[in-house]
Chains A and B, each alone.
Chain A
Amino acid sequence: MRDLQKAGPARRVRSRGSGPRWAMRQAVRFAVSLAALLVASFAMIHLIPGDPVRASLGPAAPIELVQARTAALGLDRPIPEQFLTYVGNVLSGNFGTSFLSGEPVGEIVAGRLPNTLALALLATVVALLVAVPLGMGAAVRTENGRNRGTEYAFTTVTGTAVAVPEFLYSIALVTVFAIGLGAFPPAGKAGAASYVLPVLALAIGPIAMIARISRAETLRELGSDYVRLARAKRLPAARLYLRHVLPNTLTATLTLGGLLLSALIAGSVLVEYVFAWPGLGLKIVESITQKDYPVAQGVILVYGAIVLVVNLAVDLALAALDPTSKIREA
């Protein structure tokens, strides 16, 4: 969440554009980032201090087993050759096999990715649906410094909610609603009810933050001339806010929503851990603590790729949405 707060405004300032040159730059940037990610995930297993095979098999393992495993993984080959093999494997969908279970990493990821995406997507949708009306309502009520009490309550509550990390929300929700009241299942994925608590835990922080952004954006729009003119036309309040103000606040809010999605995919690691949710996040924690490096390597690669794809998609969507960027095409 906090990374998002820092990244949000900076990304908005960056000039957006359109046209072939802009698209070209986006494509190049995406390709370079993807290549860097591939190098980083390859390097990971080699940067681990000591011998990763020895570390995973434990100090008691016979030397022959370690050597055999090292040879089977190709870790005894020269580094450049290993890298080429790795890239070739990844491109053909082979992410290696788990040290522990012998399962292909690709299958593990494919089985768990949908669960993580479902959590992140649902939380993003819930956050936007709750936060945008909340922020707009607060802006309308506190325009030009009226209702200072409301403004104060809003900033204090959202400021506090943003500062509490998602794993504490998760623990609190589990304790109260699952263990205490028994209203929802405390862990695992089983039916619609099991989604409620994890989605809520993921969404609370983003709700507070998007509500703040939405309020600030709405306040800015309310001060503009076109709102003054719309008010002079005596439009009904619903029409004024929904048709005139809302679309102009959406660019910023959706930019944030997109960034949010990639942050939530990462943030879900902690929530999945609390709720024992069978997603990628739980898997990465398990694989790191169990020193199952091929799995950790594969999951980090997939996580990173998802983040890059989401960021690219947000940029493309905004270029298509923002009417002012069409000037440059004409």
Chain B
Amino acid sequence: MKPRLPRTPAAVAGAALVAAMVVLAVIGPPIWGATAERIDAAAILQGTSTAHPLGTDSLGRDLLARVLVAGRFSLALALAATLIGGLAGIVLGALPSVLPGRAARLITGAVNALVAFPGLLLAMFTAVVSGLGARGAVLGIGVAIAPGFARLTQTLAATVAGSDYVSAARMLGVSRRRVLTGHVLPNIAEPLILQLTQSLGGALLGLAGMSFLGLGVQPPSFDWGRLLFDGFARIYVTPEVALGPAAAIALAGIGFNLLGDAMAKAAARTAPAGKKRTAAVPPDPGEPDPGAVLEVRGLSVAFPGGATPVRELSLTIAPGEIVGLVGESGSGKSLTAAAIGGLVPYPGTVGYGRLLLGGRDVATLSGKELGTALAMVFQDPMASLNPALRVGGQLAEVAIVHQGAGRAEANRRAVDRLGHVHLPDPAATARQHPHELSGGMRQRAVIAMGLMATPRLIIADEPTTALDVTVQRQILRLLREVTEETGAAALFISHDIAVVGGLCDRVMVMYAGRVVEELPVARLAAEAAHPYTRALIASLPDMDTDRDRPLASIPGRQPAPSDVGPGCAFADRCALATARCAAERPPLISYGEAGRVACWEVK
């Protein structure tokens, strides 16, 4: 499908301005041509009057008519310059992909040097050499445009030339010329045409500038730049005579720019946003639990367009407890963490019956209270430290901002915390930038950052997924140690039920935005009740797994939260599913000792 122009007012305005220019170029000279050339000795150098709305020039010719007539010449010159520059640039840019190495490098080097050179200087140089006048200006602007085209063509051609179908054609003995015309050029035509359109506006402004300096079109010919040159000389007496050509040049420039922007946007368009939807607030959540560090009742996260990736989630975490949240990607576990931390990205909305941290609604907590009570650790340690700042400074600012510590005290504490997470030389680490640390060291630094204050809850969202296995184990041990030492609770989010089983006290299993089972880790292996949890455990290889057989996996895929019907989301993949499972969603009810499960087939 060909990309279509978006119907934004800017795109429409751009297209309308360019269309008006084209129409003016066609009808201008035949309609106003005679008026524009009519000399009137009785009306020279006039300002605005009813007969001459924009005044007259030194020969008494009507300036409005001259502006309207000059459109054709201005546009034609710009078109000529763009074609010259485009053609020269495309040839220069395509040559390296078909020439032998040394010549190709020479051309590439020359193009790179010219691209960094201001176009106006190139244009003036060329104009001097080829003689003042329209011809010299067109050639000059063409030369100024060419390097940009050459660079674009080079980049595009290099991409195409490296592709498999060009290698194949070369192996089949197709000549270099045929490769260029048959394979390379057709595949880069579209972006080049876009560039041509955008350059047209630039060429028009460049030519206007040259003529305005007196280096372009010379009398008796005239374009908008030349009319502005004449008008500018009289600006102290009758400023309105400069208005017509100035407005014409500005409108043309704006028109081409808006149209070019719209065309570029149409080539890479994103889907429009759907209607807005707010997460529903669930009914009364009952009495709060005074001893809990975190208490969540009826948490939902909704996005415009109807997607609700987290639904009616409830969980409670006691002091010092490590709770695991397990699920496949897309089950809503990371958004749950983001919702608790107040970090759900716009346009998502969070609804909850109760969201208490240390017994208080998170919405009522100040930034200082949240920043010290809650520590977060994310998946990718490469990305979660600021590359521009020293590690120590990023830790210290927590103490400076939230605890009123001085710089020296904050730095001392940062070094102390870095030592706490077993970084070998904490003082040196504090002075380093993140890129100087390994992935494991960075994740330790992020954990140390969480320990700068006295966190009551650490939310770790897949903290070991990006690390290799030995480092993974060290980080898990560190998390366990940190919670034991500080008494902080932790919510540990992972897709790996084995990791969760090794670290946590209690496990919650999420599927398609809901919790389907919750139970103490000790009973995970033997007493998991939900078919999904059991399937997850069964898919883990252990020492007894027969290595000749394929790894066990769960057939089918997790549905997107918006695709779930009225029944159990797992029903399609469940061996035990009945008609009731597809029609009616099972509630999350108490099961066994300290466990909950949502399944009709568990009795």
Asked if A165 lies at the interface with its beta carbon under 8 angstroms from chain B, I say yes
The reply to whether B10 and A267 form a contact with Cβ atoms under 8 Å apart is no
Partner of A300, one of B125, B152, B155: B125
Chain B residue with the shortest CB-CB distance to A3: B119
The reply to whether B341 and A232 form a contact with Cβ atoms under 8 Å apart is yes
Additional 8 contacts, C-beta under 8 A, given A164-B250, A165-B205, A229-B449: A7-B148, A145-B346, A163-B254, A163-B258, A164-B253, A228-B376, A270-B209, A300-B128
Report the Cα distance A247→B239, complex, angstroms: 46
Asked if B212 lies at the interface with its beta carbon under 8 angstroms from chain A, I say yes
Asked if A220 lies at the interface with its beta carbon under 8 angstroms from chain B, I say no
Task: Mark contacts of A267-284 with chain B using CB atoms, 8 A cut-off: 1 yes-contact digit, 0 otherwise.
Answer: 101100110000000001
Taking the closest CB of chain A, its distance from the CB of B507, in whole angstroms, is: 24
Report the Cα distance A152→B9, complex, angstroms: 10
Taking the closest CB of chain A, its distance from the CB of B276, in whole angstroms, is: 11
Taking the closest CB of chain A, its distance from the CB of B455, in whole angstroms, is: 11
Contacting chain A: which of B28-36, B48-56, B383-391? B383-391
Partner of B387, one of A33, A36, A159, A324: A324
Report the Cα distance A162→B152, complex, angstroms: 21
The reply to whether B253 and A163 form a contact with Cβ atoms under 8 Å apart is yes
Task: Mark contacts of B314-349 with chain A using CB atoms, 8 A cut-off: 1 yes-contact digit, 0 otherwise.
Answer: 000000000000000000000000000101011100
The reply to whether B387 and A226 form a contact with Cβ atoms under 8 Å apart is yes
Asked if A155 lies at the interface with its beta carbon under 8 angstroms from chain B, I say yes
Q: Find residues 392-423 in chain B having any chain A CB closer than 8 Å to their own CB.
A: 397-398, 401-402
Instruction: Report, as a range, how many residues of chain B touch the other chain.
Output: 35 or more
The reply to whether A225 and B155 form a contact with Cβ atoms under 8 Å apart is no
The reply to whether B347 and A323 form a contact with Cβ atoms under 8 Å apart is no
Asked if B537 lies at the interface with its beta carbon under 8 angstroms from chain A, I say no
Task: Mark contacts of A23-34 with chain B using CB atoms, 8 A cut-off: 1 yes-contact digit, 0 otherwise.
Answer: 000000100110
The reply to whether A175 and B235 form a contact with Cβ atoms under 8 Å apart is yes
Q: A3-B144, A239-B397, A288-B128 are in contact. Are A175 and B239 (CB under 8 A)?
A: yes
Contacting chain A: which of B109-117, B163-171, B550-558, B583-591? B109-117
The reply to whether A248 and B388 form a contact with Cβ atoms under 8 Å apart is yes
Asked if B124 lies at the interface with its beta carbon under 8 angstroms from chain A, I say yes
Contacting chain B: which of A41-49, A75-83, A90-98? A41-49
The 4 closest A-B pairs by CB, nearest first: A234-B371, A266-B118, A163-B257, A247-B388
**Majority SS of interface residues in chain A?**
helix
Q: Find residues 1-27 in chain B having any chain A CB closer than 8 Å to their own CB.
A: 8-10
Asked if A21 lies at the interface with its beta carbon under 8 angstroms from chain B, I say no
Chain A residues within 8 Å of B254, by CB: 160, 163-164
Chain B residues within 8 Å of A248, by CB: 386-388
Chain A residues within 8 Å of B378, by CB: 225, 228-229
Asked if A16 lies at the interface with its beta carbon under 8 angstroms from chain B, I say no
Report the Cα distance A212→B221, complex, angstroms: 39
Partner of B273, one of A44, A145, A164, A284: A145
Taking the closest CB of chain A, its distance from the CB of B208, in whole angstroms, is: 7
Chain B residues within 8 Å of A273, by CB: 212-213
Partner of B261, one of A40, A49, A159: A159
Report the Cα distance A234→B403, complex, angstroms: 12
Report the Cα distance A266→B347, complex, angstroms: 45
Report the Cα distance A225→B383, complex, angstroms: 5
Chain A residue with the shortest CB-CB distance to B379: A225
Taking the closest CB of chain B, its distance from the CB of A305, in whole angstroms, is: 11
Task: Mark contacts of A301-330 with chain B using CB atoms, 8 A cut-off: 1 yes-contact digit, 0 otherwise.
Answer: 001100100010000000000011011001
Chain B residue with the shortest CB-CB distance to A266: B118
The reply to whether B383 and A284 form a contact with Cβ atoms under 8 Å apart is no
Instruction: Report, as a range, how many residues of chain A touch the other chain.
Output: 35 or more
Chain A residue with the shortest CB-CB distance to B262: A159
Chain B residues within 8 Å of A230, by CB: 386
Chain A residues within 8 Å of B125, by CB: 40, 44, 300
The reply to whether B120 and A171 form a contact with Cβ atoms under 8 Å apart is no
Asked if B256 lies at the interface with its beta carbon under 8 angstroms from chain A, I say yes
The reply to whether B118 and A244 form a contact with Cβ atoms under 8 Å apart is no
The reply to whether B384 and A33 form a contact with Cβ atoms under 8 Å apart is no
The reply to whether A285 and B347 form a contact with Cβ atoms under 8 Å apart is no
Chain B residue with the shortest CB-CB distance to A33: B113
Chain A residues within 8 Å of B129, by CB: 44, 47-48
Task: Mark contacts of A136-175 with chain B using CB atoms, 8 A cut-off: 1 yes-contact digit, 0 otherwise.
Answer: 0000000111100000100110011011110110011011
Chain A residues within 8 Å of B343, by CB: 228, 231-232
The reply to whether A270 and B215 form a contact with Cβ atoms under 8 Å apart is no
Q: Find residues 233-255 in chain B having any chain A CB closer than 8 Å to their own CB.
A: 235-236, 239, 242, 246, 249-250, 253-254
Asked if A53 lies at the interface with its beta carbon under 8 angstroms from chain B, I say no
Report the Cα distance A231→B346, complex, angstroms: 14
Report the Cα distance A155→B257, complex, angstroms: 12
Asked if B121 lies at the interface with its beta carbon under 8 angstroms from chain A, I say yes
Taking the closest CB of chain A, its distance from the CB of B138, in whole angstroms, is: 16
Q: A44-B125, A263-B118 are in contact. Are A225 and B384 (CB under 8 A)?
A: yes
Chain B residues within 8 Å of A155, by CB: 10, 261
The reply to whether A233 and B398 form a contact with Cβ atoms under 8 Å apart is yes
Task: Mark contacts of A248-259 with chain B using CB atoms, 8 A cut-off: 1 yes-contact digit, 0 otherwise.
Answer: 100000000001
Chain B residues within 8 Å of A218, by CB: none
Q: A144-B345, A288-B132 are in contact. Are A171 and B242 (CB under 8 A)?
A: yes
Report the Cα distance A327→B436, complex, angstroms: 7
| Pairs across A and B, CB under 8 Å, 26 listed | A33-B113, A47-B129, A144-B345, A145-B347, A146-B347, A159-B257, A163-B254, A165-B249, A168-B249, A171-B246, A175-B235, A226-B384, A229-B378, A229-B384, A229-B446, A232-B341, A232-B376, A233-B449, A234-B371, A244-B388, A269-B120, A285-B215, A288-B127, A293-B128, A296-B128, A324-B387
The reply to whether A244 and B389 form a contact with Cβ atoms under 8 Å apart is yes
Taking the closest CB of chain B, its distance from the CB of A9, in whole angstroms, is: 10
Taking the closest CB of chain B, its distance from the CB of A279, in whole angstroms, is: 14
Chain A residue with the shortest CB-CB distance to B210: A270
Q: A44-B129, A244-B389 are in contact. Are A311 and B116 (CB under 8 A)?
A: yes
Chain B residue with the shortest CB-CB distance to A143: B346
Partner of A48, one of B10, B128, B249, B385: B128
Report the Cα distance A285→B128, complex, angstroms: 10
Chain B residue with the shortest CB-CB distance to A263: B118
The reply to whether B212 and A162 form a contact with Cβ atoms under 8 Å apart is no
Chain B residues within 8 Å of A163, by CB: 201, 250, 253-254, 256-258
The reply to whether B258 and A247 form a contact with Cβ atoms under 8 Å apart is no
Task: Mark contacts of B133-177 with chain A using CB atoms, 8 A cut-off: 1 yes-contact digit, 0 otherwise.
Answer: 000000000001000100110010000000000000000000000
Report the Cα distance A225→B343, complex, angstroms: 11
The reply to whether A2 and B388 form a contact with Cβ atoms under 8 Å apart is no
Asked if B230 lies at the interface with its beta carbon under 8 angstroms from chain A, I say no
Partner of B371, one of A233, A247, A262: A233
Asked if B513 lies at the interface with its beta carbon under 8 angstroms from chain A, I say no
Asked if B183 lies at the interface with its beta carbon under 8 angstroms from chain A, I say no
Task: Mark contacts of B360-390 with chain A using CB atoms, 8 A cut-off: 1 yes-contact digit, 0 otherwise.
Answer: 0000000110110011101110011111110
Partner of A226, one of B201, B253, B345, B383: B383
The reply to whether B119 and A144 form a contact with Cβ atoms under 8 Å apart is no
Asked if B426 lies at the interface with its beta carbon under 8 angstroms from chain A, I say no
Taking the closest CB of chain B, its distance from the CB of A141, in whole angstroms, is: 11
The reply to whether A44 and B235 form a contact with Cβ atoms under 8 Å apart is no
The reply to whether B121 and A303 form a contact with Cβ atoms under 8 Å apart is yes
Asked if A12 lies at the interface with its beta carbon under 8 angstroms from chain B, I say no
The reply to whether B118 and A165 form a contact with Cβ atoms under 8 Å apart is no
Chain A residues within 8 Å of B347, by CB: 144-146
Chain B residues within 8 Å of A29, by CB: 109, 113
Chain A residues within 8 Å of B132, by CB: 288-289
Chain A residue with the shortest CB-CB distance to B208: A165
Q: A7-B115, A288-B128 are in contact. Are A234 and B258 (CB under 8 A)?
A: no
Taking the closest CB of chain B, its distance from the CB of A52, in whole angstroms, is: 10
Asked if B202 lies at the interface with its beta carbon under 8 angstroms from chain A, I say yes
The reply to whether A228 and B384 form a contact with Cβ atoms under 8 Å apart is yes
Chain B residues within 8 Å of A168, by CB: 246, 249-250
